[in-house]
Amino acid sequence: MYNKEVLSGFRKFILRGNVIDLAVGIMIGAAFNSVVNALVKDILTPFIAAIFTQPNFSNLTFTLHGSQFTYGDFLNNLLSFVILAFTIYFFVVLPVNKINERIHKGPPPEATTKTCPECLSTIPLKAKRCAYCTATIQEG
C-alpha cells in the first residue's frame, strides 16, 4: 500500500535535526516546569507565606455578595510563571544571545572611506583629491 519512497520521506522527516531538537526541548521544558513548580510550592510560597502569616496560598479566598473567590491558587501559578520566565530569560535567552553575537559577528567590514588630512572630511578611499578642500591626497 505504501511504497518505499513515502516511508523513506517519513523517516527523513522524523530524523531531521529540528524535529529531534523540538522533542528534546519539550521534554526538558516539562521537566524544568516541574522543578520550578516544586521550588515555588515547597520553598518560595512557604517563605512568602510566612511573611504574611498564611501557610498556603491556595487557601486564600474572599467573599463578595455571597460568591467565593479563590485567588490563592492563582497567586501560586502567577509566582511560578514569573520565576519560570525569569529563569528562562536570564539563564537561557541572554546566554544564547551572547553566543550568537560572538558567532555571527564576523570580521569588521572593510573601510570604504578615509579622512582628508587637511580638512578632516570623510572622502572615498580611492580619492586622490579632497572634494571639500581640493587638497591632493598622498597614497599611503
Q: pLDDT by residue (tens digit) across 121-134?
A: 999 989 899 989 98
Q: pLDDT by residue (tens digit) across 108-122?
A: 788 889 999 999 999
Confirm or reject CATH 1.20.1560.10 for domain 4-105, answering yes or no. no
Q: Is the pLDDT of residue 107 over 90?
A: no
DSSP annotation of 57 reads G
pTM of this structure = 0.48
Alpha helices in the chain (DSSP H): 4-14, 17-39, 45-51, 72-88, 94-105
Pairing of strands 113-115, 61-64: unpaired
Report percent pLDDT > 90 for the chain: 13
Q: pLDDT by residue (tens digit) across 67-105?
A: 999 888 888 788 878 887 887 788 878 988 898 888 887
